[in-house]
Copies of this chain bind each other. A is one copy, B any other.
Amino acid sequence: MTRKPKATSIDIAHRAGVSQATVSRVLRGSPLVNAQTRKRVEDVARELNYKVDRHASSLRTQRSGTLALLLFEDPTPDDSHINPFFLSMLGSITRACSRQGQDLLVSFQQLSDDWHADYEDSMKADGLILLGYGDYVLYRDKLDDMVERGTHFVRWGAVLPDQPGISIGCDNYQGGRLVAEHLIDGGRRRIAFLGDASSHYPEFLERYRGCNDALAATGGSIDPALQVDAETSEEAGHAAACELLRRGAPFDAVFAASDLIAIGAMRALGEQGLRIPEDVAVVGFDDIPTARFARPSLTTIAQDTTRAGQLLVETLMQLVRDEPATGTILPVSLVVRRSSDPA
């Protein structure tokens, strides 16, 4: 149970009969080392299980080789209920990092934390990936602050003009359009929107706008009485649908700003004896795994999380290397399932 003392580059140097500097060169892959010398050092290093000390190396180079993923969440009562969509992003970000030879630090953050200080000032990470539905207005100041301090960061979210820093996101507007066009095809005209549709939640607002614009092409629009705020949770979706029903305005379709909201809404609608999709079509957004298994299975907008994760990491690395980088809007696709079948 006692740990063997760790080998250092000096140990390797002694055994290989070279200087410590040469050991370092070999391990960094420097081209100016004789092939034979290189082999000798590599053999000894392997034999002694030698690994470069990350802290010594980072202290010297001023690079940590680590990125930090900051998950920003609406406060949730239960620790373990994370929006599954972010978890899928987490998976692809994790893999993208390992392909890029970067380590990944993961953390849940509050708006009150000082991300720059916590990660870049302390050299824990070379850059930050920001993920989460939060109130954009509240954290926009934070973003400005980070830009001013030169923090390297990329953000998953709405990609709009005049945003601080670099954002990568899906085509929320187009997603909204696709949903509305699909519902219109199915003969629906009175579309309710569950989710905040203000500048506080730009992603949701874009989804709302896309939907509304498609409706406008038919001469309609979203009745304000059919829009109810909801944060992204099953409970909030349930509550929002109840509120919608309470208002009494007629509707034949529900477009929920996220799948979690949609699933909660379906439960509420079912409790009131409404049949889905016969009486009300329901569509979500995100295509979380649960959407397939919901009752009825949920029509939704799928985002390419694999590509998204790659892009976030690659773009952030460009920033870290001081290369030019830009935001990206990723295409979305409509996944039609039972909840919106034209019956």
Residues on A facing B (Cβ under 8 Å): 1-4, 6, 49-56, 58-59, 64, 66, 69, 78-82, 84, 87-92, 94-95, 98, 103-108, 116-118, 120-124, 147, 149-151, 263, 289-290, 293-296, 305-306, 309
Interface centre among A3, A66, A79 (most CB of B within 10 A): A79
Shortest A36–chain B CB gap in Å is 25
What residues on B are CB-neighbors of A120 within 8 Å?
Answer: 3
A305 with B80, Cβ < 8 A, contacts A3-B150, A54-B124 known: yes
What residues on B are CB-neighbors of A50 within 8 Å?
Answer: 121
Whether A122 lies near B79 (C-beta < 8 A) is: no
- Extra contacts, 13 of them, besides A6-B121, A81-B91 (Cβ < 8 A), are A3-B150, A4-B150, A54-B55, A54-B64, A54-B124, A55-B55, A55-B59, A55-B123, A79-B306, A98-B108, A104-B105, A104-B106, A106-B106
Shortest A96–chain B CB gap in Å is 9
Shortest A260–chain B CB gap in Å is 9
13 contacting pairs across A/B (C-beta < 8 A): A3-B149, A6-B123, A54-B55, A54-B64, A54-B123, A55-B55, A55-B58, A80-B305, A81-B289, A90-B90, A263-B293, A290-B293, A293-B293
Whether A53 lies near B305 (C-beta < 8 A) is: no
Whether A53 lies near B92 (C-beta < 8 A) is: no
Shortest A60–chain B CB gap in Å is 9
What residues on B are CB-neighbors of A293 within 8 Å?
Answer: 263, 290, 293-295
What residues on B are CB-neighbors of A49 within 8 Å?
Answer: 116-117, 121
Interface centre among A105, A293, A305 (most CB of B within 10 A): A293
Closest to A89 in B: B80
What residues on B are CB-neighbors of A1 within 8 Å?
Answer: 147, 150
Shortest A45–chain B CB gap in Å is 11
Shortest A318–chain B CB gap in Å is 13
What residues on B are CB-neighbors of A290 within 8 Å?
Answer: 289-290, 293
What residues on B are CB-neighbors of A87 within 8 Å?
Answer: 82, 84, 87, 90
What residues on B are CB-neighbors of A108 within 8 Å?
Answer: 91, 94-95, 98
Whether B79 lies near A92 (C-beta < 8 A) is: yes
The 5 closest A-B pairs by CB, nearest first: A3-B150, A295-B295, A51-B121, A80-B88, A51-B122
What residues on B are CB-neighbors of A64 within 8 Å?
Answer: 54-55
Shortest A335–chain B CB gap in Å is 15
Closest to A297 in B: B295
What residues on B are CB-neighbors of A52 within 8 Å?
Answer: 122
What residues on B are CB-neighbors of A121 within 8 Å?
Answer: 6, 49-51
What residues on B are CB-neighbors of A84 within 8 Å?
Answer: 84, 87, 289
Whether A309 lies near B150 (C-beta < 8 A) is: no
Closest to A88 in B: B80
What residues on B are CB-neighbors of A95 within 8 Å?
Answer: 79, 108
Shortest A224–chain B CB gap in Å is 30
Shortest A284–chain B CB gap in Å is 12
Closest to A298 in B: B293
